Amino acid sequence: MELARLKALIDLVSRSRISELEITEAGERIRISRSSPLSASPETPRSTEPRHEPAAESRHLGGAMEARVETDGHIVVAPMFGIFHRAPSPDSAPFVEIGQAVELGQKLCIIEAMKTFNTIGSDVAGTVAEILVESGQEIEAGRPLLRIAP
């Protein structure tokens, strides 16, 4: 991703009320998260130096912002604010489980917004590696929901 676009995304997060933004593009995953002012204690100052991790490259930007690029799968993000549901009804089986293979367009979950149930489909084929939110949890637009491994 171009540095100018990354800076624009960081600026967008810093000016908005969202605490995290995650985008997957061309096999790269960009995650920008804002920590609350209370989370950084005086004893543990945040570093501005890049650090390297085995599966990711992380950079601390602007003191309270962190951008992380990972290539270990595709993240399905919430397109809207609402309530996350793994199943079509409380007594039904979930749409998908961890380890399950999914096809392009397959139903993954539902987001309930203003009494409307919006089905979220997979935009890639692969295997469900993680389910990142609990059923019944309130979520924001842009919130990572599931990770699908290739």
Looking at 70, 89, 119, the residue that finishes a domain is 70
- In this structure, are 114 and 54 located in the same domain? no
Examine the pLDDT at 134 and tell me if it is beyond 90. Answer: yes
Predicted confidence at residue 86, as pLDDT, reads 96
pLDDT in tens, 40-99: 444 444 444 444 343 333 343 444 444 444 447 899 999 999 999 999 999 999 999 999
Predicted model pTM: 0.54
Structural domain range at position 97: 74-149
- Of 145, 33, 143, the C-alpha closest to 85 is 145
Same domain, 79 and 65: no
Q: Verify that 51 and 78 share a domain, yes or no.
A: no
Same domain, 57 and 118: no
Q: Which of 25, 42, 70 is the last residue of a domain?
A: 70
Identity at 140, one-letter amino acid code: E
The domain boundary, picked from 16, 51, 70, lies at 70
Comparing 31-35, 93-97, 126-130, which segment has the lowest mean pLDDT?
Answer: 31-35
